[in-house]
């Protein structure tokens, strides 16, 4: 029998390849969309985290918010209890701090210095001799050694056994009150010590209730780097030719100046006020000096007798109270 001819194969269909190509393109497009959505979610998450983090950081505190309005000549200055209420309790101790907190005035001023192992404690002098039963430089003693000392018996037997406080103890006590703090950082501080101190301030929620003061420009600069929100004040024994420019360069909200320096250059008060800065003077303890300070228009007075100054202001200054 003759063979039946085999019909030619139909031409290859392009539908399969076209379908495969379309599927691949669709998958790639979906993958790209997923990748884009994932990036958007990641970015939005990062923004949310940043917003939460920023909300936890205290805002920038102005001179007016911390230290009040600019005082005119004759108006009441704020009162700062020098080293706590040291007229009734040993200076820079918790009893003196508590007495200052209980008093009818505005600020508690303390001195904070570093031990040999980098811990911050309340002490004014470079050495332990005057206000404890220890001897020698604080910088040569560890925190454990300093905490063994008696910081109260020298003042009165009733305070025997009082210890040198840590800065954390002071901040906890201040945070429990409505008072504000002026904290002088004594000597030269390291960036690490400043960072630890700033963290303690923020931990107690005191970033808008304390001002950090120092004679040392580097310490003030370290504080600005560690926590620019915490207000800073420069302490000056003598006034530079351009005090406003110096304050601006240091990034401070104002100055704490020797009363003698201010009396030699009283025009500095008006200059600072015109620049939106504040000025407090130290350490004034009698009526005549208080009167002169008010006549000049200083914003704050640091005193060893805050109760006496407050009583005096209530009768001598129109807006005291």
pLDDT tier at 55, thresholds 50, 70, 90: very low
pLDDT tier at 49, thresholds 50, 70, 90: very low
Cα–Cα distance between 275 and 252 in angstroms, integer? 12
Tokens of 243: 């005090």
Q: What is the pTM of this model?
A: 0.81
pLDDT of 252 > 90? The answer is yes
Tokens of 31: 């993958």
Q: What mean pLDDT is predicted for residues 262-281?
A: 98
Cβ neighbors of 108 (< 8 A, separation 6 or more) are 80, 81, 84, 97, 100, 101, 174, 179, 180, 181, 182
Q: What mean pLDDT is predicted for residues 81-107?
A: 96
Q: Tell me, what's the pLDDT at 244? A: 98
Instruction: Tell the burial category of 214 from Cβ atoms under 10 Å away from its Cβ (0-12, 13-18, 19+).
Output: buried
Q: What mean pLDDT is predicted for residues 273-297?
A: 97
Q: Tell me, what's the pLDDT at 105? A: 87
Q: What mean pLDDT is predicted for residues 9-15?
A: 50
Percent of the chain whose predicted confidence (pLDDT) is above 70: 80
pLDDT of 42 > 90? The answer is no
**In the chain, what is the greatest distance between 2 CA atoms, to the nearest angstrom?**
143
Query: How far from the centroid of its chain's Cα atoms is residue 305's Cα?
Result: 25
- 80-107 in b/e form (b: 16+ CB < 10 A) is bbbbbbbbebbbbbbbbbbbbbebebbb
pLDDT of 70 > 90? The answer is yes
pLDDT (tens digit per residue) in 101-160: 999 888 999 999 999 999 999 999 999 999 999 999 999 999 999 999 999 999 999 999
Q: Tell me, what's the pLDDT at 317? A: 85
Q: Tell me, what's the pLDDT at 60? A: 73
Q: Tell me, what's the pLDDT at 12? A: 47
pLDDT of 305 > 80? The answer is yes
Q: Tell me, what's the pLDDT at 35? A: 64
Tokens of 199: 């963290």
Q: Tell me, what's the pLDDT at 36? A: 64
Q: For every residue of the chain, which 3-state class applies, written as one string?
A: CCCCCCCCCCCCCCHHHHHHHHHHHHHHHHHHHHHHHHHHHHHHHHHHHHHHHHHHCCCCCCHHHHHCCCCCCCCCCEEEEECCCCCCCCCCCHHHHHHHHHCCCCEEEEEEEECCCCCEEECCCCECCCCCCCCCEHHHCCHHHHCCCCCCCCCCHHHCCCCCCEHHHHHHHHHCCCCEEEEEECCCCCHHHHHHHHHHHHHCCCCCCEEEEECCHHHHHHHHHHCCCCCEEEEECCCCCCHHHHHHHHCCCEEEEEHHHHHHCCHHHHHHHHCCCEEEEECCCCHHHHHHHHHHCCCEEEECCHHHHHHHHHHHCCCCC
pLDDT (tens digit per residue) in 197-231: 999 999 999 999 999 999 999 999 999 999 999 99
pLDDT (tens digit per residue) in 1-10: 444 454 554 5
Strands 120-122 and 300-303: unpaired
Q: Do the Cβ atoms of 180 and 171 come closer than 8 Å?
A: no
Place of tokens 């979610």: 41
- Report the chain's mean pLDDT, rounded to a whole number: 88
């Amino acid at each position: 029998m003759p063979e039946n001819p085999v019909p030619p194969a139909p031409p290859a269909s392009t539908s399969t390849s076209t379908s495969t190509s379309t599927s691949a393109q669709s998958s790639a497009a979906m993958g790209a969309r997923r990748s884009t959505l994932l990036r958007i979610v990641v970015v939005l998450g990062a923004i949310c985290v940043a917003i939460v983090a920023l909300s936890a950081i205290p805002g920038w505190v102005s001179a007016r918010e911390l230290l009040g309005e600019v005082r005119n000549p004759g108006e009441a200055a704020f009162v700062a209890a020098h080293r706590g209420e040291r007229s009734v309790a040993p200076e820079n101790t918790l009893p003196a701090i508590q007495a200052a907190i209980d008093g009818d005035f505005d600020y508690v001023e303390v001195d904070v210095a570093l031990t040999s192992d980098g811990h911050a404690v309340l002490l004014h002098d470079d050495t332990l001799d005057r206000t404890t039963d220890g001897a020698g430089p604080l910088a040569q003693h560890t925190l454990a050694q300093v905490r063994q000392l008696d910081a109260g018996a020298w003042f009165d037997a009733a305070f025997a056994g009082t210890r040198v406080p840590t800065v954390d103890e002071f901040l906890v006590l201040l945070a429990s009150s409505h008072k504000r703090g002026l904290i002088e950082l004594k000597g030269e501080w390291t960036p690490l010590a400043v960072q630890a101190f700033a963290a303690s301030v923020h931990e107690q929620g005191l970033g808008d209730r304390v001002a950090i003061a120092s004679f040392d420009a580097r310490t003030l600069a370290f504080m600005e780097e560690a926590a620019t929100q915490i207000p800073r004040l420069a302490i000056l024994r003598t006034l530079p030719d351009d005090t406003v420019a110096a304050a601006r360069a240091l990034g401070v909200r104002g100055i704490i100046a020797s009363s003698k320096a201010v009396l030699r250059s009283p025009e500095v008060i008006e200059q600072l006020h015109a620049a939106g800065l504040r000025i407090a003077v130290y350490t004034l303890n009698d009526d005549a000096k208080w009167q002169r300070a008010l006549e000049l228009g200083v914003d704050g007075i640091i005193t060893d007798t805050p109760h006496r100054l407050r009583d005096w202001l209530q009768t001598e200054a129109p807006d005291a109270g």
